Chains A and B, each alone.
Chain A
Amino acid sequence: EVQLVESGGGLVQPGGSLRLSCVASGFTFSSHAMTWVRQAPGKGLEWVSGINDSGGTTYYADSVKGRFTISRDNSKKKLYLQMNTLRAEDTAEYYCAKSYGSGSLYYFDYWGQGTLVTVSS
């Protein structure tokens, strides 16, 4: 059974940093691209960042480029999102999702339960 479990969310002040983690199980982690998708309270889904299977290529939405860094550790089956210079508009539920394939252009066949990030003073 595929499982994705996020952690690391919480309350942070504007300008602060947070690191999200996602631990995967039930599939060959190193064979799949992974992604982060967020959802602001009461709003729709927004793709944030993706990383290919090897970790050698990363992709970002313009809204987070230069502030967020996605990475992965295939030996630990973990995905990360380092979030710096956080803004109020980054407040959202952050979902880790498994891409069907190994590269960037895919749909997401499994999702974690999400971790809430709140940016507020």
Chain B
Amino acid sequence: AIRMTQSPSSFSASTGDRVTITCRASQGISSYLAWYQQKPGKAPKLLIYAASTLQSGVPSRFSGSGSGTDFTFTISSLQPEDIATYYCQQYHNLPLTFGGGTKVEIK
């Protein structure tokens, strides 16, 4: 199975900060990567697919980049409503696998 490693696992930032999360795949997955946001007590929500394509209705402050094994997720200006855990997911191979998650908190 392809292992997805996210870093950091958690961190705190201030409103307005630029936030970057990385996701590394244990083998090449081309651009078959999605990012999800999960708020406490809620279901995950798709933000980005194909590594960099923003899902319809998702604010433009969210972005993604990368291909192969190394990927980046960025929030250009952190807002209070962005407090959540973020997960990457590869869909290059079965079994589909997720990263361990990155919990983002407000400082």
* Contact surface of A with B, Cβ cutoff 8 Å: 35, 37, 44-47, 50, 59, 61-62, 95, 100, 104-114
Q: How many residues of B contact A (CB 8 A)?
A: 24
Q: Is B73 an interface residue (CB 8 A)?
A: no
Measured in the bound complex, the distance between the Cα atoms of B97 and A59 in whole Å is 13
Minimum CB–CB distance from A117 to chain B (whole Å) comes to 15
Residues on the A chain within 8 Å of B42, using CB:
113
Q: Are B97's CB and A47's CB within 8 A?
A: yes
Closest to B99 in A: A44
Secondary structure type dominating chain B contacts = loop
Measured in the bound complex, the distance between the Cα atoms of B55 and A100 in whole Å is 11
Contact of A47 with B43 at beta-carbon distance under 8 Å, contacts A100-B49, A105-B32, A107-B34 already known? no
Q: Are B89's CB and A107's CB within 8 A?
A: yes
29 CB contacts below 8 A, A to B, read A35-B96, A44-B100, A44-B101, A45-B36, A45-B44, A45-B87, A45-B89, A45-B101, A46-B98, A47-B95, A47-B96, A47-B97, A47-B98, A50-B96, A59-B94, A62-B95, A100-B49, A104-B94, A105-B32, A105-B93, A105-B94, A106-B91, A107-B46, A107-B89, A108-B44, A108-B89, A109-B49, A109-B55, A111-B44
Minimum CB–CB distance from A91 to chain B (whole Å) comes to 17
* In-complex Cβ contact of A45 among B55, B94, B95, B98 (8 A): B98
